[in-house]
Amino acid sequence: MNSISAASPEHTVCRGGGADAHQRRVGWLLSTPAAALMVLFLLGPLLAVLLLSFTDWQLGMDSLAWVGLANYQEMFGDDTFWRSLKNTIIYVAIVVPGSIFLGLGTAMLIEAGEYGKGFYRAVYFLPVMATLIAMSIVWQVILHPDFGLLNLLLKEVGIKGPNWLQDPDLVLYVLCGIGIWQQVGFNMVLFLSGLMAVPRHLYEAAEMDGASSVWQRFSLVTWPMLGPITLFVVVITSIKAFQVFDTVQVLTRGGPNKASEVLLYTMYTEAFEYFRTSYAAAVTVVFLFFVLLLTLIKTRFIERKVHYS
């Protein structure tokens, strides 16, 4: 009897360990296809771009040679690269906070309303669903210096409208405005989902504690509870802002005088217009570095202030 009792725990442990090992093997087996696809379509191309940036290969060449850091040295000495990097940073610095605050404000106004919530959600989400290239053509017509709707409206009040897309002092900020317009609807939907998840009893408790004004309820309840969704919105919006290309390609082609050139457009022109593929790969590596660095910084420092319910 005692021998059976003494052997039973060991037998149970062995069976439990075997079951855990079997579950781990099954887990690895099930995750293998996804891991293989990630290596094939994500890590593989990234590694290929990184290696290509250290060569002299151009599109159509049958051979290549290792040139080390020559592409990076040329890039860091190129005024066009620094101009496009500066324009990209300015674009991100304007579009990210602008689209986030407008998206949050729009979501709060819609959620506070009693009628037409579905209609307003659809209206503000339309720019997200529309093809940005097609909408860029519409914006090109709106911003036309002679018969554009914006300048016609300004003319009605006695103001002569500028050439919005050909003024080097204005063109980048015009693109920023279009970027905010296009991103607000997406951020609004995300914030709406966060607002609907806030427990209503927290507002009642805050009101009982003396938070009677709208601002007090927002700062004490709404904003802290929106922490996780805000972190997600900041990271996603920043990455999308860094990837601006469509509006630049359709509306300005980087002009006038590189005033609206951004990193992705520099990559495109170097790779597919000048066929300097290895140089474009070096620009791509720097672009990916900035996106990764921005994501890590935001995730590390903003997440410390995020409240998870």
Which pLDDT value is given to residue 305? Answer: 57
pTM of the model: 0.83
Q: What residue has token string 């409206």?
A: 153
Q: What residue has token string 């909408």?
A: 135
Which pLDDT value is given to residue 1? Answer: 46
DSSP label of 55: B
Count Cβ atoms within 10 A of the Cβ of residue 34 and give its class: 0-12 exposed, 13-18 middle, 19 or more buried.
exposed
Three-state SS string over 221-250 comes to HHHHHCHHHHHHHHHHHHHHHHCCCHHHHH
Query: pLDDT by residue for the chain (309 residues), tens digit each?
Result: 444 444 555 555 455 556 788 788 888 888 888 888 877 877 888 888 899 999 988 877 778 889 989 999 999 999 999 999 999 999 999 999 999 999 999 999 888 777 777 887 888 888 888 787 888 889 999 999 888 899 999 988 988 889 999 999 999 999 999 999 999 999 999 999 888 888 888 877 877 877 777 788 888 888 888 888 888 898 889 989 999 998 999 999 998 989 999 999 999 999 888 889 999 999 999 998 888 887 787 767 666 655 555
Which pLDDT value is given to residue 252? Answer: 92
Q: Cα(192)–Cα(108) distance, rounded to whole angstroms? A: 7
Which pLDDT value is given to residue 306? Answer: 56
Which pLDDT value is given to residue 83? Answer: 95
Q: Cα(141)–Cα(305) distance, rounded to whole angstroms? A: 44
Three-state SS string over 237-296 comes to HHHHHHCCCHHHHHHHCCCCCCCCCCHHHHHHHHHHCCCCHHHHHHHHHHHHHHHHHHHH
Residue 217: C-alpha distances to residues 201, 210, 224 (Å): 12, 10, 10
Which pLDDT value is given to residue 103? Answer: 93
Helix/strand/coil for 128: helix
Neighbours of 101 (CB within 10 A): 13
Which pLDDT value is given to residue 115? Answer: 77
Which pLDDT value is given to residue 280? Answer: 92
